[in-house]
Chain A
């Protein structure tokens, strides 16, 4: 039973991977971005139609969550970038006292490459 469920999971896995294959195509990615932009526009416009219930001052203002989401995300990324310039060190900084400088012991892992893709490569 375990084997058959394993096989069916394997099959579903292939289907799922195929369903995500569009991420490789630049035109499809551009389309997805356009859909996201459209969705954002729609959500922004909904603020004028639907009255959002507000508890905090300013929360009820139109576009509050849209602006907060965009600006907060951008500031976090920019802030983090600045932070990195201050605190980034080499992986060996703490030497042998830290796992950053070592590989995970391979004996405890089961590193396997996907056989079907190995075949693709060979062809």
Chain B
């Protein structure tokens, strides 16, 4: 059984993909998640696949309910992405997708920090090929930026792990808490992959640069692995509540004005991570259940939204809101699936987001974090604005762009319909998901209060949208780039360094030329002294020689006297 654990199955699949032909490759990408699902269901709870390595005991599989729910959704996401990518005939993408999904799964199942580090780095290296597979110079540059930050996170994790091992002698991947330098470094490593505020910009930079299918894959794994790692090691750290609250709020504004819909979704992903991080920070059983449930639902509806925008990109060649509109006429099924995704992320009752977000909101209010709770309520209205309205409205309705693209290919439609169906099924039958959650907590999302409150919030937000559109206050979609904190290292720092280099060069040049001028002046004077007729070159009489010698002797005498 050790050789058939889910992550290894993905790696076998990746290896096979390297050597077989196109049809077999496509089948493998579908078959691997299916077999991995069976393998996961057969795995017993507890530790497995323990290996002695350099005196450390590595635990490759530690299965408990928290790891199970994340592993399950990772496998489902890999399967859905494989259907969506049925048309892809690109060995690079297929191999890296399998490696990446397998590594993310491995990270979730890891029982010790060394194994986690190993998988942490594999996810970074494997996933960058989904960006490079676009095969343009810009994608190459973006991939390099992404890789630097991802590997940087791994290096921090390694440093933290070494310090932590030195402090405690333990490498177990368990609850750590923010108690020492080592645990702080590990926390920062997790924070980078979880896109904490000011460490977030790799996400919005890289995801829109990936291929149509690559973005769908990317959106599922890295950040949710980080959420899992935080839930595992830092549950109940109060600072996470505030980090999470900020994460829910600030990306909303950026998403609202972003033109590239895949970047809008990347900002929206960031905002959804905020809800999960708040849940981890509160750390009660209800809140952690909320985080796990929200990660589960989020992977589905976020994949669905990326799939529908990806299908539009695949058929029209652009994902920019300013270039789209009126596509409902010819891409109706994509449009309906997009609307289901939008309703799910906006947490309309009967859709998946409603039954997962409620857990986190209730946990924050019940534990007295009223301000954070209010931030989450405001952020919920914000989610409606950019993901609930903006994505479907500007793509499929709004002004008619005149584009009449054909409907998405059949395999993309199948992937989207299955994903949309899962979103609705979870929304209608929440107990299906609740029974998978880590803790046994009795929770009823469909109470009159809850449904009424959520419907009021969403309908009045919708009303505000209509009002702002009618009054012409709502900003139009325009082409352009919106600066974010990555401006610091993409523009400001290089510019500053170049400016420093330029001023240093000019200082050196100026000094050199003034020294040269000085030296040539001296040389000229010396030459004049030594030239024919110069002071040093003319003939001296005996009288004057004796006079000079006398003067010198007097000087020597005077010096001796003064001693």
Chain A residues packing against B (C-beta within 8 Å) = 2, 5-6, 9-10, 12-14, 16-17, 20, 23, 33, 36-37, 39-40, 43-44, 46-47, 50-57, 59, 65-74, 76-81, 83-84, 87-91, 93-94, 96-106, 108-115, 117-118
Contacts and interface: CB of A to CB of B under 8 A. Distances in A.
Interface string B23-50: 0000000000000000000000000000
B381 interface: yes
Interface of B: 87, 134-139, 141-142, 205, 208-209, 211-212, 252-254, 256-257, 260, 313-319, 328-330, 332-333, 335-336, 362, 365-366, 370, 373-374, 377-378, 381-382, 384-385, 397, 403-407, 409-410, 413, 447-449, 452-468, 473-475, 478-484, 490-491
Given A56-B373, A110-B315, A111-B317, A77 B473 contact: yes
A102 B483 CA distance: 17
Nearest to A12: B333
Given A17-B332, A83-B253, A68 B480 contact: no
Contacts of A115: 406
Contact of A40 (B135, B385, B463, B468): B463
Given A57-B370, A65-B460, A73-B464, 17 more contacts: A2-B410, A9-B407, A12-B333, A16-B336, A33-B466, A40-B463, A43-B455, A51-B449, A52-B449, A72-B381, A74-B464, A74-B468, A77-B473, A96-B141, A103-B317, A108-B211, A110-B87
B328 to A, nearest CB: 5
A2 B483 CA distance: 46
- Interface majority SS (helix, strand, loop, mixed), chain A: helix
- Interface majority SS (helix, strand, loop, mixed), chain B: helix
B275 to A, nearest CB: 16
B256 A77 contact: yes
Contacts of B382: 72-73, 76
A102 B138 contact: yes
A20 B328 contact: yes
B332 A36 contact: no
A59 B461 CA distance: 17
B405 A84 contact: no
Contact of A98 (B138, B318, B404): B138
A36 B462 contact: yes
B316 A111 contact: yes
Contacts of B137: 96
B317 A109 contact: yes
B468 A23 contact: no
Nearest to A98: B138
A16 B260 CA distance: 26
A13 B396 CA distance: 14
12 contacts: A9-B410, A13-B333, A17-B328, A36-B459, A50-B449, A65-B456, A69-B464, A70-B464, A76-B252, A97-B141, A99-B209, A108-B134
